[in-house]
Structure 1
């Protein structure tokens, strides 16, 4: 077991958190992650309204008594006010926010006793999150799937920088998928990791099997950054659709011209039918490391075991001198 400030904050067994997954972060996956000792997150944007989200929250509760939370992306596609009200009504203890500043929701969430974590792509935003009362932050590296921010700063750089400057716990995201990654994040000053891409390729994820099987074949170079032209860069799976988007952007297209490719209907066809010629899906460079589709419980157990084994290996590289009270080279 790894005991960190994050496992203590959320009362979970392992410092492993499922990232927000549009249309996929629903009760089957969330239940499996939480039941296995991590923290599953309902993705609010997956539902048409608050009522549907609350119904799925109850489904999670019916299947596990372990902690779980809700991920709310603010200002990305539509107003999220009703979903904020929903987590309060539903008594959800943990909320992760991303996108726009969550400050306007903080008073209501904190009064309800909810722990709030904000996803940040830079130190400036991390400090702001701490200032408005967030309980922790997710430091998002450039390698991540989805929205890495405008600075193109990798996890190896942004994680220790934010961890050094903040007094609240930091969760590392972007490029993490295994036990070595978990151990690396902890050594950089993080108190846990958040994974999105790796949780695409698990049995409990409802995404179409065609996509899962495709992930096993992909490399880090099979991702692409789109939407730079509108200052909302996103890393996605490289497909003919993403190439078309890049072409349009290079030609100075409008947002309206991009909508047929990045809109909700195209994305729905991709995740439900496995049609990569419809829409785009967020995908991190860590897809390079995915070589199997596992049950969530097996994946988390594998991550924890590898982290422990790697820690044991590293410990053997140094010798502790009781006389000097320090570690010395062997």
Structure 2
């Protein structure tokens, strides 16, 4: 059954389930599959070497599905996003998720083009700033999330309702979500949908090498850790040799230049291209400890919706008026 929320209405999607921005993985096969299954797929702009390459993948998505999809722009992290913003506007994509630094620089440009902008934030403070800038919604990431949880070590259970109470725009919950239980929990906390990265990384359509997916199947909830605190950019990653080495170097007060061979783009490319899980760092959330299979995206989304529907039905039956 469709779950109608402010987010499904805003984005024109069937289910309030959104794919996270996944560096190197947010490409056509995954994006098309998520959108076709009723969620919202996101092309990850930073994955592409040029605007032209991103536009080619956008056109491929359009050939695969007529359903809505968007573009994720990581601002101020890997490369300038100016040409990719131009690409979004040129292709008529009308949904953008921004992350990293403030999207203020691009807001006028995007809003004039009729683009809906949703910003990913780690705290109440930045959620309020996003609303002031004119963002149409925010994604709040809890401490459990893979990638960048922010400096405050506050979990989703606490953070989501606090942000919902603090802004008037729709809130999407991220960090620790993978199933119908999580969707119902997020909705009950006031969120209008969920965004999932790790769950979609572990899908058939994800470009992550199968050798790495196989290794991640047996991961526990304790097999992630936070690196890059020393450079004020906390990053939750899978606990592999590269991540442990980064922690060791940070303990020795290493400079950024000494960390780059492990945390930089070349190491990550080697991880993806060679299927070597120890070649670089891989952003993964604590929810990996509850994910032991990598089915199709369609199966993932249908499973979430079916489970959520069942839970809501049982809850309605349990709450009988006196």
Q: Any residues of structure 2 matched to 1:1-330 within 5 Å, and which?
A: 1-321=2-322
SS of aligned partner of 2:321: strand
Give the C-alpha shift of residue 249 in structure 1.
0.1
**1-structure distance, mates of 2:303, 2:79:** 37
Deviations 1:123-172 (A, max 9, x none): 00000000000000001100000000000111111100011111100000
Which sits farther off after the overlay, 75-84 or 62-71? 75-84
Q: Aligned with 1:71: secondary structure?
A: strand
SS state at 1:172 partner: strand
SS of residue in 1 equivalent to 2:293: coil
Deviations for 1:17-50, whole angstroms, at most 9, x for unmatched residues?
A: 0000001100000000000000000000110010
Cα distance in 1 between the residues matched to 2:22 and 2:177 = 16
TM-score, normalised to structure 2, is: 0.99
**Per-residue deviation, residues 238-285 of structure 1 (Å, max 9, x unmatched):** 011111000000000000000000111110111222102201110000
How big is the shift at 1:58? 0.3
Task: Provide, for residues 159-218 of structure 1, a one-character-per-residue CA deviation record: whole Å limited to 9, x for no partner.
Answer: 000111111000000000000000000000000000000001111111100111112100
Tell me by how many angstroms 1:316 deviates. 2.5
Moved over 3 A (4+): none
Q: C-alpha separation between the residues in 1 aligned to 2:319 and 2:109?
A: 50
How far apart, in 2, do the equivalents of 1:273 and 1:157 lie?
Answer: 39
Unaligned stretches of 5+ residues in structure 1: 322-330
For residues 200 and 271 of structure 1, the distance between their equivalents in structure 2, rounded to whole angstroms, comes to 12
**Which entry has the higher C-alpha Rg, 1 or 2?**
1
RMSD of aligned alpha carbons: 0.7
* TM-score, with structure 1 as normaliser: 0.96
Aligned length: 321
Distance 1:293 1:141 in 2: 23
CA distance in structure 2 between the aligned counterparts of 1:104 and 1:82, rounded to whole angstroms = 13
- In the alignment, the residues of structure 1 paired with residue 87 and residue 232 of structure 2 have an alpha-carbon distance, to the nearest angstrom, of 30
